[in-house]
C-alpha cells in the first residue's frame, strides 16, 4: 500500500518527513551509543548494497547492449558472405563459386562454367567493415602462399 495517495501527495510528503524528523531525536535518546553505532553501520551497509546493485544493473545493461551489437554485426557479415558473389568486383563468375562457410567462405573455379576448363582455383574469404582474418584463416592463407596444397582423390569401395 502506498504511503501517500491522492492529489495532495506533494504537500503531505514534506509534512510526513518533518514530523518524522521531530520524532527521531526522542527515539534515539532511548538507545545506547553502541546500538546507535550498530544501526548506523547497518544502514550504511544497506545503502552500499543498493549502490552496488544499481552499478551491477548498469553494467549488465551495457553487456547486453554490446552482445546485441556484436550479434547484429555477425548477422550482417553472414548476409554479406551469402550476397558477395553478386556484388561488384567479386573475383570470379558467381556460378564458379561454391559456398563453404568454414574455414573459408568460398572455393571458386574460374572458367569452369563458361569454358568448361579451370583457369585457377581460388579460396575466397569475405570480410566486412573492419573485421580481420582469424588465426585459422591466416594459417590457410600462409599454407596456400607456401604451395602446401594438393589434390587428393578418395575412393570408397
Cell numbers that stand for 149 in this block: 596444397
Burial of 24 (C-beta count, 10 Å sphere; 0-12/13-18/19+): exposed
Q: Are 72 and 93 in the same domain? A: no
Judge whether 52 lies within some domain: yes
**Residue 127: which domain range?**
88-145
0.75 cut: is pTM over it?
Answer: no
Judge whether 115 lies within some domain: yes
End of a domain among 33, 57, 81? 81
Q: Kindly give the confidence (pLDDT) of every residue in the chain, 157 residues in length, as a single tens digit, with 9 standing for 90 and above.
A: 555 555 555 555 666 677 777 777 766 677 777 887 888 899 899 999 999 999 898 999 999 999 998 888 888 888 888 888 888 899 989 999 999 888 888 999 998 888 988 888 999 998 888 888 889 999 999 999 998 988 888 889 8
Tell me, what DSSP letter sits at residue 108?
A: E
Q: Are 42 and 14 in the same domain? A: yes
- The rounded distance, in Å, linking the Cα atoms of 15 and 3 is 13
- How far does CA 55 lie from the centroid of its chain? 19
Cell numbers that stand for 92 in this block: 570470379
- The rounded distance, in Å, linking the Cα atoms of 67 and 13 is 42
Amino acid at each position: 500500500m502506498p504511503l501517500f495517495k491522492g492529489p495532495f501527495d506533494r504537500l503531505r510528503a514534506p509534512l510526513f518527513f518533518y514530523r518524522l524528523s521531530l520524532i527521531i531525536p526522542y527515539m534515539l535518546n532511548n538507545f545506547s551509543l553502541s546500538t546507535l553505532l550498530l544501526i548506523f553501520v547497518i544502514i550504511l551497509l544497506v545503502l552500499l548494497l543498493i549502490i552496488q546493485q544499481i552499478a551491477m544493473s548498469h553494467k549488465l545493461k551495457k553487456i547486453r547492449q554490446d552482445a546485441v551489437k556484436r550479434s547484429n554485426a555477425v548477422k550482417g557479415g553472414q548476409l554479406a558472405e551469402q550476397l558477395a558473389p553478386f556484388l561488384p568486383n567479386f573475383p570470379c563468375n558467381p556460378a564458379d563459386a561454391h559456398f563453404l562457410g568454414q574455414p573459408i567462405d568460398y572455393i571458386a573455379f574460374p572458367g569452369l562454367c563458361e569454358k568448361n576448363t579451370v583457369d585457377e582455383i581460388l579460396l575466397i574469404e569475405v570480410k566486412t567493415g573492419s573485421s580481420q582474418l582469424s588465426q585459422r584463416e591466416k594459417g590457410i592463407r600462409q599454407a596456400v602462399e607456401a604451395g602446401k596444397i594438393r589434390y587428393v582423390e578418395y575412393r570408397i569401395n
